[in-house]
C-alpha cells in the first residue's frame, strides 16, 4: 500500500490517522496512514527519510507548517498566500506543498453548516498562522467584507495588505467592534490557554454563526460566550475533517464522503 502520515510534535493526539483510514475504506484506496513524531529540530531529516522509504505524502501539523512551506519545491497559490503548508505530496522527485485548511473551513461552513458565504459579513479574529491559512479561500467565496480584528493591529494591517487584491477587507482593534456579523471566526490561539479573544456581545446576533477553529470535547470559552450572546456555535472538528478530505483528494484524486467520519466520531 502507498504510505502517508501526519508529521508533528506533538502528534500522538492527532485524529488524522483514524480519519484517513475511514476515507481509504470508503473509497477503496489501498493506503496506510500513520503518525510521525519529528524532533523539534529534525523536521527536514524526518521528511527526507520518509521520502527515501517510499512515502507518498504527509500532513503537516504544529509546529512544522512553516518549515514545510520552505521545504516544498512547488507550492499551490493557496499555500503561497497562506505562507504555510499542511499537505506535502511526493512525486517524481518533486516535493509539492499545498494548504487545505482554508478549503476545509469553507467546505465545513457551506456544505456542513449550510451557510452561504457570498455577500456575507465575516469577522475574523486573529492575524497569525491560522488566520493566514484561511484568508484566500474565504475571500474567494466573495463575502461582502472580511473584517480582521487582532490585538496587534499592525499585524492585522499587514495581513489585510497581503490579501488586498482578492477582496474587501477591513482592520481594527477589538475595542472598535460594535456591530453584528453573519459569521465570527476565532483564529486566535487564545483557546490553548483556556482564554478567548476580547470580543464583546454586539458582534453576535441570533443569526450569527460563531466558529472556533479549535475543537474539544466541550464548548471552548469563545463558543460559550458566543452562545450566551445568542449566536449559533460550531467548533473546528468539521474543518479538521474537511481539510483531511481535501488532502486526500490532493494525493489520490478522489474526494471521500465526510458524513461517515462525523458519525464515527459521534458528531451529528
Ligand atoms: P496560530 O498559528 O495559532 O495562528 P500565531 O501565529 O502565534 O499562532 O498567532 C496567534 C494569534 O492569536 C495572533 O493573532 C495573536 O494575536 P497578536 O498577533 O495580537 O499577538 C492571537 N492571540 C493569542 N493569544 C491571544 C489572546 N489571549 N487574546 C487574543 N488574541 C490572542
Q: Which atom of ligand 1 is nearest to the CA of 132?
A: 4
Whole-number pLDDT of residue 242:
98
CA 104 to mean position of chain CA atoms? 6
Computed over every residue of the chain, the mean pLDDT equals: 97
Q: pLDDT tens, 225-235?
A: 999 999 999 99
Pocket test for ligand 1, best of 126, 133, 154 (most atoms within 8 A of CB): 126
Closest CA to 133 of 62, 183, 30, 190: 62
Q: pLDDT tens, 82-132?
A: 999 999 999 999 999 999 999 999 999 999 999 999 999 999 999 999 999
Whole-number pLDDT of residue 221:
96
Ligand 1 centroid vs 127 CA: distance in angstroms?
Answer: 7
Going 137 to 138 to 143 to 144, the CA torsion angle's sign is negative
Whole-number pLDDT of residue 217:
85
Q: With a cut of 80, say whether residue 201 has pLDDT above it.
A: yes
CB of 135 shorter than 6 A to ligand 1:
no
The rounded percent of the chain whose pLDDT value lies above 90 is: 97
Q: With a cut of 80, say whether residue 204 has pLDDT above it.
A: yes
CB of 113 shorter than 6 A to ligand 1:
no
Give the dihedral of Cα atoms 221, 226, 232, 233; nearest 10 deg: -20
Ligand 1 centroid vs 246 CA: distance in angstroms?
Answer: 26
- Classify residue 211 as exposed, middle or buried by CB count within 10 Å of its CB (0-12, 13-18, 19+): buried
- The residues that bridge with 125 in the sheet, in sequence order, are 149, 186
- Pick the more confident residue, 79 or 192: 79
**Structural domains of the chain, with CATH:** 2-99+239-264 (3.40.50.10860), 102-235 (3.40.50.720)
- The end-to-end CA distance of the chain, in Å, is 32
Of 125-134, 157-166, 167-176, 212-221, the poorest mean pLDDT is in: 212-221
CB of 191 shorter than 6 A to ligand 1:
no
Q: Please state whether 93 falls in left (phi above 0), alpha (psi between -120 and 50) or beta.
A: left
CB of 190 shorter than 6 A to ligand 1:
yes
Closest CA to 186 of 174, 169, 202, 178: 174
Q: Supply angle C-alpha 19, 25, 31, rounded to 5.
A: 80
Nearest residue by C-alpha to atom 2 in ligand 1 = 129
Mean pLDDT of 158-163: 98
HSE of 206 in the Cβ direction (CA atoms, 13 Å)?
0
Residue ranges of the binding site: 14-16, 61, 86, 101, 126-130, 213, 215, 236, 243
Q: Cell numbers 464583546 label which residue?
A: 200
Mean pLDDT of 253-259: 97
Would you tell me how many other CB atoms lie within 10 Å of the CB of residue 88?
Answer: 29
Cell numbers representing residue 188 in the block: 486566535
Q: Which atom of ligand 1 is nearest to the CA of 195?
A: 27
Q: With a cut of 80, say whether residue 268 has pLDDT above it.
A: no
Active-site annotation holds for 65: yes
Q: Please state whether 230 falls in left (phi above 0), alpha (psi between -120 and 50) or beta.
A: left
Closest CA to 72 of 63, 56, 62, 84: 84
Catalytic residue of the set 65, 80, 168, 255: 65
Distance CA 221, CA 143 (A): 27
ipTM above 0.85, yes or no: yes
Mean pLDDT of 134-140: 97
Q: Is 251 helix (H, G, I), strand (E, B) or coil?
A: helix
Mean pLDDT of 47-73: 97
In this structure, are residues 165 and 189 in contact, taking their beta carbons and an 8 Å threshold? no
Cell numbers representing residue 15 in the block: 485524529
Whole-number pLDDT of residue 104:
98
Whole-number pLDDT of residue 216:
83
Distance CA 259, CA 268 (A): 9
Q: How confident is the model at residue 54 (pLDDT cuts 50, 70, 90)?
A: very high
Amino acid at each position: 500500500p502507498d504510505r502517508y502520515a501526519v508529521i508533528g510534535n506533538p502528534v500522538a493526539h492527532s485524529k488524522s490517522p483514524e480519519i484517513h483510514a475511514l476515507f481509504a475504506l470508503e473509497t477503496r484506496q489501498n493506503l496506510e496512514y500513520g503518525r510521525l513524531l519529528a524532533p523539534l529540530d529534525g523536521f527536514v531529516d524526518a521528511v527526507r527519510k520518509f521520502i527515501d522509504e517510499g512515502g507518498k505524502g504527509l500532513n503537516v501539523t504544529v509546529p512544522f507548517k512553516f518549515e514545510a512551506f520552505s521545504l516544498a519545491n512547488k507550492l499551490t497559490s493557496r499555500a503561497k498566500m497562506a505562507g504555510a503548508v499542511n499537505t506535502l505530496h511526493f512525486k517524481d522527485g518533486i516535493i509539492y506543498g499545498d494548504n487545505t485548511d482554508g478549503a476545509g473551513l469553507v467546505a465545513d461552513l457551506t456544505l456542513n453548516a449550510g451557510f452561504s458565504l457570498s455577500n456575507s459579513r465575516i469577522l475574523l479574529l486573529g492575524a497569525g498562522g491560522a488566520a493566514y491559512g484561511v484568508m484566500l479561500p474565504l475571500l474567494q467565496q466573495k463575502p461582502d467584507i472580511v473584517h480582521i480584528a487582532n490585538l496587534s493591529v499592525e499585524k492585522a494591517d499587514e495581513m489585510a495588505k497581503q490579501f488586498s487584491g482578492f477582496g474587501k477587507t477591513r482592520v481594527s482593534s477589538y475595542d472598535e467592534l460594535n456591530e453584528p456579523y453573519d459569521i465570527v471566526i476565532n483564529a486566535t490561539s487564545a483557546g490553548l490557554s483556556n482564554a478567548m479573544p476580547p470580543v464583546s456581545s454586539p458582534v453576535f446576533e441570533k443569526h450569527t454563526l460563531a466558529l472556533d477553529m479549535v475543537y474539544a470535547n466541550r464548548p471552548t470559552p469563545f463558543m460559550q460566550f458566543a452562545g450566551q450572546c445568542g449566536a449559533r456555535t460550531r467548533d473546528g472538528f468539521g474543518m479538521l475533517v474537511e481539510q483531511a478530505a481535501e488532502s486526500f483528494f490532493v494525493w489520490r484524486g478522489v474526494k471521500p464522503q465526510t458524513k461517515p467520519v462525523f458519525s464515527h466520531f459521534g458528531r451529528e
